[in-house]
Chain A
Amino acid sequence: MKTLKILKALFGRELKLIFRNQSDLFTTFFFFIIVCSLFPFGVKPSSELLPQIGPGMIWISALLASTVSNARFLLSDFNDGSLEQIFLAPIPSTLIIYVKVFVQWLTTGFPLLIVAPILSLQFGLKYQEIMVLMISLVIGTPLLTLIGALGSALTLGGRGGGGLVAILVLPLYIPVLIFGVGSVLSYSSGISPETSFLVLSAILVFALVFLPYAIALSIKLALE
């Protein structure tokens, strides 16, 4: 019960901090929208091309938005010493990671899900395609947050900065991108998107089990 109480307090603290400093919340959200809206300028905005590249553009924007938000995920807590204090709590450190990553997803991943259907209309996607894209994003965005959290934890205390997080994390995002976009593409060409969903879910389960340990270990190395 004590563990639950600590986790609840931590959850409340994380949410409060995010809503006190709403600029982070808005930055990711609008970054996503702006990057998404940039792509049509870079290609010919024809009604044949845009639906084809739309799912990929939305997914890539989500990856970039996740990189931008996760670069600073643990940094402020690390700099003011509160991360060290939180890790002193008498509960397993992976539980702390779960709470922090969940709040991070709630505030940076979840808003993308709300606006993604509207952006899909900009690309002229059909209703069913939007549904498939949304399912892939629902499974995929927690993965992005988890991997991004690892990148953020690894670079704590180094001289790397946000650019290094991007270099570390973007290659690891590629399988998520392949199967996320793959689900919509296979649906559009008449194949069931189920395989992509299953692979994405498998990666998510795998990451949910193992990545918190890697994140906790990196944070402990930074706190030494």
Chain B
Amino acid sequence: MNLYKFSSPKVFYPLAGSIFKYTLLPSIFFLVVGLYISFFLAPTDFQQGEAYRIIFIHVPAAWMSMIIYMAMAFWNIVGFSLKSKLSFMMSRALAPTGAIFTFIALITGAFWGRPMWGAWWVWDARLTSELILLFLYIGYIALVMSFDDSKRGERVGAIYSIVSVINVPIIYFSVIWWNTLHQGASVSFNKAPSMAAMIVEGMLVMMLAFWTYSIAVVMLRIRRIIVEYQEEMLLMNHTTEG
């Protein structure tokens, strides 16, 4: 089977529809199960009390915010190297979801920080980098929107996304670089996690929920973008003929 045939928007359109169908229900399922685990099954933390439960949303949202920004840059690099317009559309479809997750991560971080640190906001490296990430998302979206010709907007936005993606590793390694207030990463794959198993499970299920939700909503959005693109083409052909 030739996978490249899906790089044509026309062929991808129905595929996106079925991916949406098959990820929407799992995402609702994982969300319900994940929230149940995080609110009812996971044990109360003996240091942080009940307020720690916000990490079940905060941590997966922060992960998604970074993964989506990297995915955007990845698709843009693919787009420039294979000259496939669907890749640029993919990046454009990903951006609003990523921005929303960044926003959620910041807000929930503030809610967590208030009882734990006694402040809504501290100028710690990771918080600040997440805020910068939100600015980058906003910059990308504003840049793409500023062009009437969506094809050009997507390509120009792609350059911005590739240049600014350098920021994402800085976010990740900032914990090590600028040793500050924020606690170090508590989930790692090298050593045993310093959390109860139930908490890890809850976080993983929430992670799955966010992944499937993102895929579903991005597929829905890319279908909209393909339709818009076709309309733009029709309009352009119409004006050149008439």
Known: A150-B163, A167-B138, A218-B156. A160 touches B146 (CB 8 A): yes
Q: Which residues 111-132 of B sit at the A interface, judged by CB distance below 8 A?
A: 132
Q: What chain B residues lie within 8 Å of A154 (beta carbons)? A: 143, 156, 159-160
Interface size bucket, B side?
20 to 34
Within 8 A of B (CB), among A177-214: 211, 214
Q: Bound complex: CA of A158 vs CA of B143, how far in Å?
A: 8
Say how far B221's CB is from chain A's closest CB, in angstroms.
Answer: 22
* A171 sits at the interface (CB 8 A): yes
Chain B interface main SS type: helix
What A residues does B32 contact at CB under 8 A? none
List A contacts of B170 (CB < 8 A). Answer: 175
CB contact between B142 and one of A160, A174, A211 (< 8 Å): that residue: A160
Q: Which of these, A158, A171, A175, contacts B147 with CB under 8 Å?
A: A158
Q: Which residues of B contact A175 (CB under 8 A)?
A: 170
The 8 A CB mask of B127-151 against A (1 = contact, 0 = none) is 0000010011011001100111000
Given contacts A167-B139, A175-B170, A224-B152, contact A157 B147 (CB under 8 A): yes
- Whether A221 lies near B163 (C-beta < 8 A) is no
Main secondary structure of the interface of A (DSSP, over half): helix
Interface positions, chain A 128-176, Cβ under 8 Å from B, are 150, 154-155, 157-160, 164, 167-168, 170-172, 174-175
* Distance between Cα atoms of A167 and B136 in the complex (Å): 8
Q: Which residues of A contact B146 (CB under 8 A)?
A: 155, 158-160, 164
User: Residue on A with the closest CB to B131?
Assistant: A171
Contact at A221–B142, with CB atoms within 8 Å? no
